Structure 1
């Protein structure tokens, strides 16, 4: 793997880069033995960022073989020892946060703040699950069928080897945060990062190894979704996927036919509602951030805003001003607030949505154009209104810095419009607390953020997060984000006498005895 000189000269250990090359060569995929490589390019400059191997089904087989062989001993390792490994990983991520942010920016072209959001997400997940895993995974005593006679325990058993397929838009956060929970639960992991952003995963693997994670437990196989992703879904004991709804349905069919568990965060067309009593001037910069953070390449970012007629003109004026104050830029620094799109394909997609909307009558309030003067894949933050009939932008996810603002009669129409699409990932409401809370409770979405875009719900890591309708199944974060990677095993033992009663009791009296015991248990509050 080759890296730009400016990164090689950073004061962080050259050993880290050397080991990363070693991991790329030896652990990302076995296809390197055949000389098959894929170049990785950065959106920030023309030179090649590096390369990875092109994985095959045989590579996936080998990855699962290695992980399964190691996972058995890892599952038998006391959870407190697993926690020690993850806490050391947490420390290493914090120590190397600048290097991690550098790689995220190099791979994605995003701004430094968005890159650090990823680092913080990994730290939050590692800390939360390290602190809670011993309690969540401990064998728990449960009420038995009969007090004193039946003893029942719930045991949490690892699934085995978890498959993970992660996207390019948040390569570190979505590439390792879910794996943290799976590993702490006692599983192995075979992961496929997106082909354009593999290095954040490889650095995570390096740091986990440094923290003491057993060799071969976490396997990374680079390659195409069609080959590597499909092979992972056909071999894993549980699948964690983040990506499009279309691909999610295909993978869901594959794992469903195998009766394997599945968690997926899929597409969205996230709405925002501005209540009539919202403090627009106070929140307008936050509203702009909710739409244009990470250049809109964010599963939970806002793409449509509904504003009651009474405050529409005030809002659109303020929103335009806030949008135009966003500073576009490029480079490994904090000097700008919005970076690049991931590449030419995404730039073309964004331009198509804008052109289609304009052709069908939409008004461009601000933006709407690429900015090659800043970088090859930069696009202006764009606000549209007056969306015409049939505009693709109305219902399809753009995944770019484009949002449309729609005038509505009142809050009731805004809620109706927000709920009409088949998606339900994230949503946002701005208004006075009581008003916003009432609106939030009527929105069909896995998360609703009041007086913020998405950050507070995403960062509230103790609460499960995910989509409804066509935006996903399962949850990450919270207790469920860990326990979903386990099987619940019921272990019950019977004492004193069998459930059917003592052998000397005639069968015809069994029902009477059972009914009396149940009534007594309820009266004494032994039973619910």
Structure 2
């Protein structure tokens, strides 16, 4: 079944009465209501997932691939209703690399999970020893998602899990439950009953999911602090974990870069989803020889990008999804300004305005130890730090305890690759930032988490390797 608009889709997932209101971060209007599950209801869902898993696994790879591709078709058939709901709940505009882009990405990543063959691998066959590695389903996967890319990151978690024969119990963020409930509803029009269950709930439900003895692996995207709590809660049952945690990604501009040529790439690297992206560019190191030119080029690009309510087609930047995140961004920018940093653009929010809108902000002449540089702002504010040379930039880039992504910007690809090899990050991009691809493995370094997602590596991470020797 396809839905003509978000209202029709909401009617299919909302409780008939009661529930918790979810509000649009752009307007404050009620988007819909969600029925929050109890811990007992979560336990029942996990029991259902456990009972459903052997039958799902027994279907085999080819039938699971067929069903996942059919589920992707259903996402596409409901794309506009999903995008409209996502825009209203999360705040991101329909256009640009935002709501319609995210829904399209959800379908694409679901299809990507079917694009690889996961065959047994002969490890040794020398006439005396014959050892073969197989990849078996783990069982039941607990998936805990964030509020910034709620649909697409849910797919990153559930698609490889289902492909490998696991069943999934998913808990969305309390800030964006409707988007994920709607996505689950669309998928479950195709998938067998009990294979995928979305359980909206609060902190107690999340903690129970992470610690539950019948959950075989937890996939989590979110803050490093919460990731550490999940590690502790998973210890008693030695759960497998894939954790994509906080990032404070550095960008390093080399002296030979053309400021005008890289400005738009730098902007979208930093401000995609209004800066609310784990692997966004969050601190930019620029050599003093071209510092002023890079700052000016960025200001010219950023000043042209319209910000406003997501359902207005012209906008490409939206509000912060929640007031708590707005306050974090505002506090960090205020600290930078109070320290004497230069406001190149923005930093002047209208406190009386409706919605969690923080203006596109560029901050220059900032100390590398300022909190706006060393703490993840997760919003539309970019500090631009002046450095003497590349060595100083590398030192600052590697100084923090996180390392999700990084980027190098240069006209000389070989030189950029050499610098990239010295940056401590799970992914380093050259002349772009945050451009992920479902074929390319993705995961963090240091306290930005561990485990790989995407591609064949991501599929194997949702399986138990078994060696048959003999």
TM-score class, shorter-chain normalisation, is over 0.9
2:28 and 2:288 map into 1 onto residues whose CA distance is 47
2:317 corresponds to: 338
Q: How far 1:431 moved relative to its partner?
A: 0.5
1:271 and 1:15 map into 2 onto residues whose CA distance is 40
TM-score by length of 2: 0.94
SS state at 1:289 partner: helix
* TM-align CA RMSD: 2.1
1:81 corresponds to: 63
SS state at 2:85 partner: helix
Question: Where do residues 134-149 of structure 1 align in structure 2 (5 Å cutoff)?
Answer: 135-136=117-118, 138-144=119-125, 146-147=126-127, 149=128
2:408 corresponds to: 429
Unaligned runs of 5+ in 2: none
SS state at 1:155 partner: strand
Task: Report how many aligned residue pairs link the two structures.
Answer: 465
The answer as to whether partners of 2:6 and 2:81 remain within 8 angstroms in 1 is no
2:419 corresponds to: 439
1:355 and 1:320 map into 2 onto residues whose CA distance is 19
Q: Is 1:268 aligned with 2:258?
A: no
- State the structure with more CA Rg: 1
1:154-198 CA-partner distances (Å, limit 9, x unpaired): 221111000000000001101223201101110011110011211
Q: How far 1:420 moved relative to its partner?
A: 0.7
1:508 corresponds to: none
TM-score by length of 1: 0.84
1:134-169 CA-partner distances (Å, limit 9, x unpaired): x21x3333324x51x443322211110000000000
Q: Is 1:187 aligned with 2:177?
A: no
SS state at 2:277 partner: coil
The answer as to whether partners of 2:10 and 2:32 remain within 8 angstroms in 1 is no
Q: Is 1:96 aligned with 2:78?
A: yes
1:162 and 1:24 map into 2 onto residues whose CA distance is 25
Select the structure that is richer in helix: 1
The answer as to whether partners of 1:328 and 1:374 remain within 8 angstroms in 2 is no
Q: How far 1:18 moved relative to its partner?
A: 5.7
CA pair 126-94 structure 1, distance change in 2 beyond 3 A? same
Q: How far 1:467 moved relative to its partner?
A: 0.7
2:220 and 2:365 map into 1 onto residues whose CA distance is 36
2:307 corresponds to: 328
The answer as to whether partners of 1:370 and 1:377 remain within 8 angstroms in 2 is no
The answer as to whether partners of 1:436 and 1:450 remain within 8 angstroms in 2 is yes
Query: Which shifted more, 87-96 or 422-431?
Result: 87-96
Q: How far 1:203 moved relative to its partner?
A: 2.0
SS state at 2:150 partner: coil
SS state at 1:268 partner: coil
Question: Where do residues 119-198 of structure 1 align in structure 2 (5 Å cutoff)?
Answer: 119-132=103-116, 135-136=117-118, 138-144=119-125, 146-147=126-127, 149-198=128-177
Unaligned runs of 5+ in 1: 1-10, 26-31, 494-528
2:201 corresponds to: 223
SS state at 1:111 partner: coil
Q: Is 1:105 aligned with 2:87?
A: yes
The answer as to whether partners of 2:60 and 2:165 remain within 8 angstroms in 1 is no
Q: How far 1:61 moved relative to its partner?
A: 0.7
2:65 and 2:141 map into 1 onto residues whose CA distance is 18
Question: Where do residues 332-481 of structure 1 align in structure 2 (5 Å cutoff)?
Answer: 332-371=311-350, 375-388=354-367, 391-432=370-411, 433-455=413-435, 458-459=436-437, 461-481=438-458
The answer as to whether partners of 2:326 and 2:356 remain within 8 angstroms in 1 is yes
SS state at 1:172 partner: helix
Q: How far 1:280 moved relative to its partner?
A: 1.4
Q: How far 1:116 moved relative to its partner?
A: 2.4
1:276 and 1:381 map into 2 onto residues whose CA distance is 26
CA pair 393-14 structure 1, distance change in 2 beyond 3 A? closer
1:284 corresponds to: 263
